Amino acid sequence: MTALEYRYQLLDVFTHVPFGGNQLAVFPQATGLTALQMQQIARELNLSECAFAFPVEGRSLEWTLRIFTPGVENPFAGHPTIGGAIALAQEAVGSCPPLTRIVLHEAIGPIAVEVGCKRSIPSATLTLPNVPQFGPADCSNAALAEMLGLEPNEIGDGAWAPVTVSCGIPYYIVPVKSLASARRCALRLDRWERLLASHWAPHVYVVALETERADADFHVRMFPPAMSVAEDPATGSAAAALAGLLARVEGGSGRRRWTVEQGLELGRPSFIVVQAELDAGIATRVSIGGEAVVVGQGVIRAPSP
């Protein structure tokens, strides 16, 4: 059986230090791979996600990007877009690229990404093609608490009541009343299967207003068993969705900026910058950004389809 070789870069995303953030494999030249092969490679590497880039013919600095977890293909994801943009810009213009604008075509639409370099660490900021959209939030606080191993009075209420929001991937955002509650969360799969496995928003995003880092605004955790991942150390698409709730809570108009810390419980500290333009309490434009570092490289031998 013949096999073709596909090289990849291994990055840690939403961090400036190796072995922090969220792991990502980027395949900068994935032409020839089928969807089945990409899914098999993602399962083989068993990272949170793998990003496969296909150059857009006749267009400089534009790629089609397909994103796979070990279990499913995602229409969009934050850390593969940020890390993919950085890896592709490094290949195109240098390891510490000057400010460069690239376009990544994902299933939710074209995404503009600005890549640059500060303190010799590359960073990127993407602007979402979609604004946050709210969905059904029909689970009781008691049911959500039981699913997370908490008490009902630890779940947020009023302006901070649980909501479902999507900027391309829908999340069940569950505010909790303390950092201690967020740290203690332990998703019970049997309860999740009954409550959210078939829900419009099956991915659970826990948010606390207390933080470990003084320069962060929110402490979050994300549990996506529907993606075949137990817990994600950094979730840009969820941070983008969170902007919808924050716009509603803060109200008003103008530009806002928040920093989200994630992954500390997993020993992979991650920091995501969220920016939004608000109009009367509605997020009309959302961007997310962060840093990434290359920690390795490799080659996958994929059997011919």
b vs e for 257-287, b when ≥16 Cβ sit within 10 Å of the residue's Cβ? ebbbbbbbeeebbbbbbbbbbbeeeebeebb
Each as own residue / partner, the long-range contacts of residues 46-49 (CB below 8 Å, 24 or more positions apart, any chain) are 46/70, 47/23, 48/22, 48/23, 48/24, 48/79, 48/229, 48/232, 48/233, 49/22, 49/24, 49/74, 49/77, 49/79, 49/80
Asked whether the CA dihedral 158, 159, 161, 164 is positive or negative, the reply is positive
Element (H, E) at 295: strand 282-303
Q: Given the structure tokens 């900068």, which residue do they identify?
A: 28
Residue 280, phi-psi category: left (phi > 0), alpha (psi -120 to 50), beta (remainder) = left
CB 205 within 8 A of CB 214: no
Measured CA to CA, the distance from residue 89 to residue 95 in angstroms comes to 8
Among 66, 37, 67, CA closest to 49: 67
b vs e for 79-107, b when ≥16 Cβ sit within 10 Å of the residue's Cβ? bbbbbbbbbbbbeeeeeebeebebbbbbe
212 catalytic residue (yes or no): no
Sequence letter at residue 261? E
Tokens coding 128:
């979402």
Q: Of these residues, 44, 49, 154, 291, which one is catalytic?
A: 49
Among 224, 225, 205, CA closest to 162: 205
Positions marked catalytic: 49
